[in-house]
Amino acid sequence: MPELPEVETVRRGLEPVMAGRFIEAVTLNRPDLRFPLPARFAERIAGQRVEALGRRAKYLLADLSSGEVLIMHLGMSGRFLIRDAAGTRAPGEFHYEAGDGAKHDHVVFRMEGGASVTYNDARRFGFMDLVPRAELTASRHMRDVGIEPLGNELSGALLARLFEGKAAPLKAALLDQKLVAGLGNIYVCEALFRSGLSPMDPAGTLAGPGGRPTPAADTLAATIRDVLAEAVEAGGSTLRDFAHADGSLGYFQHRFRVYDREGEPCVTPGCTDRVARLVQSGRSTFHCPSCQKPRRRRRGAR
């Protein structure tokens, strides 16, 4: 499911149910997700109040009154089900239809007042951890996380600096969470398409003479922001008219321009090419070969 916009959508869905409320009980249906849950996981959470529910990159961060932070990562298939005190969903709230997926309900938080929040994750690539608030930024999960792409620091200049000297293709560099944190396969494809940049261009080509950003670097920084901001907005929309959602909440319905459109016509006005798929680092890359032509390397530059 989750790249940054989906995680932010989930955060907004959970916030009204969790933030400011006490967690009365925690039920674990198995001892591990991707990793073993930390020692005494349920006991350390039960009875604590959620002071705030935040997000960093693709991580959800619940600040607990105990002084610990509950770190949650959704992996590929993690999702949450919210039930009100009567056991049914509250109107407009975040849920999926309970049913055959229930065997993957791994963690249940029973909230003050009787509502519950269930973490379901079929592939179990997600995980949860508890760390003291003061140690969060130095924790193994947060330590190497790169810049927040919706924050103020993302710019062409910063991208050029982060990517300078890198031979890895733009696609791989943008997926590297240590550089820019929060992009995944979908939004990297979308941002590169909107920028007109080939996913195969060496990342280092965003840096011009003296390491200054090329125009392409500025364009890419801007499109990353645009793509993510639009997706967050679309997720929010889906959340608001949730009555029609089909259970894949967090997978907001979204029209991608290239992602998963192999063989379909390029959406660029006047372009007669079709979307192509290639594999980079074992992942599918969707792009328009005409609109995203590889750029020539600067001969002898630097």
Partner DNA sequence: AAGCGAACCTGGCTGC
Partner DNA sequence: TGCAGCCAGGTTCGCT
Task: Please tell me the distance from the alpha carbon of residue 20 to that of residue 50, in angstroms, as a whole number.
Answer: 5
Looking at residue 93, its amino acid is E
Q: Is 3 a catalytic residue?
A: yes
- Cβ distance to DNA smaller for residue 57 or 291: 57
Part of the chain binding DNA (CB under 7 A), chosen from 19-27, 61-69, 184-192, 291-299: 184-192
- Cβ distance to DNA smaller for residue 83 or 106: 106
Q: Which helix (H) or strand (E) holds 278?
A: strand 276-280
149 binds DNA (CB under 7 A): no
Of the candidates 11, 55, 56, 104, which one interacts with DNA according to CB under 7 A? 104
Q: Is 2 a catalytic residue?
A: yes
Q: Is 110 a catalytic residue?
A: no
Q: What is the β-pairing status of strands 276-280 and 127-132?
A: unpaired
Site for DNA in 201-220 (CB under 7 A): 203
Of the candidates 139, 155, 226, 251, which one interacts with DNA according to CB under 7 A? 251
How many angstroms separate the Cα of 76 from the Cα of each of 30, 112, 122, 184, 195?
18, 29, 9, 11, 26
Size of residue set near DNA by CB under 7 A: 37
The single residue of 3, 8, 93, 190 carrying the catalytic annotation is 3
- Cβ distance to DNA smaller for residue 137 or 248: 248
The single residue of 257, 274, 283, 293 carrying the catalytic annotation is 283
Task: Please tell me the distance from the alpha carbon of residue 224 to that of residue 210, in angstroms, as a whole number.
Answer: 24
Half-sphere exposure of residue 74, counting CA atoms within 13 Å on the CB side?
A: 31
Shortest distance, position 164 Cβ to DNA, whole Å: 11
Task: Please tell me the distance from the alpha carbon of residue 267 to that of residue 196, in angstroms, as a whole number.
Answer: 12
55 binds DNA (CB under 7 A): no
Part of the chain binding DNA (CB under 7 A), chosen from 63-71, 88-96, 160-168, 293-301: 160-168
88 binds DNA (CB under 7 A): no
Part of the chain binding DNA (CB under 7 A), chosen from 16-24, 70-78, 108-116, 264-272: 70-78
184 binds DNA (CB under 7 A): yes
Let me know how long the chain is: 302
What is the rounded (10 degree) CA torsion for 65, 67, 68, 72?
50
The single residue of 11, 58, 79, 110 carrying the catalytic annotation is 58
Number of Cβ within 10 Å of residue 45's Cβ equals: 22
Q: What does the angle CA 17 – CA 19 – CA 20 come to, to the nearest 5 degrees?
A: 110
- Cβ distance to DNA smaller for residue 111 or 203: 203
284 binds DNA (CB under 7 A): yes
Part of the chain binding DNA (CB under 7 A), chosen from 105-113, 148-156, 177-185, 239-247: 177-185
**DSSP string spanning 70-116?**
EEEE-TTTEEEEEE-TTSSPPTT------SGGGGGEEEEEEETTS-E
Percent of the chain as helix, strand, coil, to the nearest 5: 30, 25, 45
Residues of the shown chain interacting with DNA in the complex, contacts defined by CB under 7 A: 1-3, 6, 34, 57-58, 73, 75-76, 100, 103-104, 122-125, 140-141, 166-169, 172, 175, 177, 184-186, 203, 248, 251, 280-284
